[in-house]
Amino acid sequence: MTDKLKVLGAGSALLDQLARVPEDFLRKADVGEKGGMVLLDPEAFQSLMKKVRDLAGEPQRVPGGSAANILSGLSRMGLPNALLAKTGRDEPGAFYRACYERDGGDPRSLKTDPALPTGSCLSLVTPDGQRTMRTSLGASGSLSAEDVAESDFDGITHLHLEGYLLPNAPLTDRLLSLARARGCGVSLDLSSFEIVRVFRTGLPDLIRDKVDLVFCNEDEAAAFAGDGRSPEETLAYLATLARTAVITLGKRGAICRTGGKTTRVGAGAGTAIDTTGAGDSWQAGFLYGWLRGKPDSLSVRFASAVAAETVRVTGARIPDERWDALLERLAELERNE
């Protein structure tokens, strides 16, 4: 029953700034490597924002951050959750909190920083639907181990951790220690191939010792393997470290492995107009099944259905009017399992 479950998502509270740009904009604006996420200092971020505004006008503003996107989906699917993150004490921060509460999330663990602005992620969406993210962390980057109270874990049964927090070792250590002390399960999203490249040496031990479920996409899997292994080979290795390992493969679907058994699922039907948040939605759908003890064969279908709906719209959040049909689709999948 979902009323006995509660997920604490820990990550960055970021406002997504969504902008559609032509392919050559990435080169002309000196954005760097396409795809993934790169942190920018405030000056560089504002400079890139000016280039975007000059080209395409003001970007669309929506609440974002990987963990928050996942929790938003879980709320809509009826699974209680709380977000541990930090915003600024400003209008964007108030907007962010209001959106999270409106979605049904518990805001008790949302922290504020009176001195720094709410963080922002510029998501550059090219005509192929791929997103290239450049982020100014702002207040979200000041989240620290000292911000995490034991009471943040009251009633929590599962911790979901963004890989973007891995650079802050004291923070991740405290979160993982409290999770284990409270008997919580732990899932980890490797988040970015740039993150994986930096922390690849220590990731196997961290996953083996502290993580039950690990998510990554194909690029992150390649960075984790570091030796040309196929996604299937990397999945098999990851599954020796965590109870369940998942690799999403974009248009080719995803593969999942638990207890020596590999499950495959194709991508949902339809044309992708924006992949922003697709991985987060996939994880929300999978967690919805996995946390309730459903077989991987059903959890991956939940995940595929939610992600397929996300890529049909601009931004990481599925519009209100689409949720009724999606929830009926999930219920149908469960009835037919």
Q: Which structural domains are found in the chain, ordered by start? A: 2-11+66-112+145-335 (3.40.1190.20)
Q: Is the pLDDT of residue 101 over 90?
A: yes
Tokens representing residue 32 in the block: 């760097």
Q: Mean pLDDT, to the nearest integer, of 306-311?
A: 80
Q: Mean pLDDT, to the nearest integer, of 151-164?
A: 96
Q: Is the pLDDT of residue 269 over 60?
A: no
- pLDDT at position 320, please? 73
- pLDDT at position 275, please? 61
Which single residue is written with the structure tokens 């996300």? Answer: 310
Tokens representing residue 167 in the block: 């650079």
- pLDDT at position 277, please? 63
Question: Which among 308, 316, 313, 282 has a CA at the least distance from the CA of 16?
Answer: 316
Question: Which among 3, 148, 136, 12 has a CA at the least distance from the CA of 67?
Answer: 12
Phi, psi (5° rounding) for residue 81? -160, 165
- pLDDT at position 56, please? 84
Secondary structure of residue 155 in the 3-state scheme: coil
Please report the beta strands in the chain, taking only residues with DSSP state E, as ranges in sequence order.
7-10, 14-20, 37-39, 60-64, 81-88, 110-113, 119-125, 131-136, 158-162, 185-189, 213-217, 244-248, 254-258, 261-265
Q: Mean pLDDT, to the nearest integer, of 262-267?
A: 88
CA–CA gap between residue 181 and residue 196 (Å, rounded): 27
Q: Regarding predicted confidence, which is higher, 327 or 205? A: 205
- pLDDT at position 13, please? 93
Going by pLDDT thresholds of 50, 70 and 90, the confidence category of residue 61 is confident
Q: Is the pLDDT of residue 316 over 50?
A: yes
Q: Is the pLDDT of residue 273 over 80?
A: no
Q: Is the pLDDT of residue 62 over 70?
A: yes
- Order of all β-strands in the sheet with 261-265: 110-113, 81-88, 7-10, 158-162, 185-189, 213-217, 244-248, 254-258, 261-265
Q: Is the pLDDT of residue 274 over 60?
A: no
Going by pLDDT thresholds of 50, 70 and 90, the confidence category of residue 1 is very low
Phi, psi (5° rounding) for residue 216? -155, 160
Q: Which pTM value belongs to this model? A: 0.87
Tens-digit pLDDT profile for residues 229-243:
899 999 999 999 999
